[in-house]
Amino acid sequence: MAVTRVQKRRIKEEAGNRCAIPNCNVTSPLDIHHIQYQENGGSDEDDNLICLCRNCHGRVHNNDIEDISIRTYKRNLVLRSARLFPHEVPYLEALLVGEQIELDEETVVQVRRLERNRFIRIQHLRRNDVYRLSITQIGRELIE
């Protein structure tokens, strides 16, 4: 699977349409970098993608910028864009400590924004229209 145009736009917007490396203000050309390389099992999911200028992208591949730094920059981008509503925090806190949360069709609407921001996953159980929530790694990092 390849990174889609929509994903590229979303990842660039997440970084403010500039390189995600702090103090690098380059706005063009921008590349989408896989944080965990695909040959090492990295996915094309948004949480594994970050926006870098061509120079910084090359520096990452030359190991001039460490992987841990790239992961930190991505986490900071996600946190900066994650303005949680007060009713959303208890869901994340409960999921973090391992509580199982199942919601009905009316209530699940309250957490759809958390799903869109990749903080949780919503699984439709198809029995009586019940939805089960699970926290993602991004959600964990946000709330920890």
pLDDT of res. 1: 63
pLDDT of res. 62: 97
Domain boundary among 36, 61, 81: 81
C-alpha dihedral, 114 to 83 to 110 to 43, nearest 10°: -10
Q: Which domain holds residue 128?
A: 89-143
Q: What is the pLDDT of residues 9-66, one digit of tens each?
A: 999 999 999 999 999 989 999 999 999 999 999 999 999 999 999 999 999 999 999 9
pLDDT of res. 89: 87
pLDDT of res. 22: 93
111 and 61: one domain?
Answer: no
Does residue 82 register a pLDDT over 80?
no
pLDDT of res. 115: 93
Domain boundary among 81, 107, 135: 81
- Host H or E run for residue 50: strand 49-53
Classify 17 in phi/psi space as left (phi over 0), alpha (psi -120 to 50) or beta: left
Closest by CA position to 116, among listed 90, 82, 76: 82
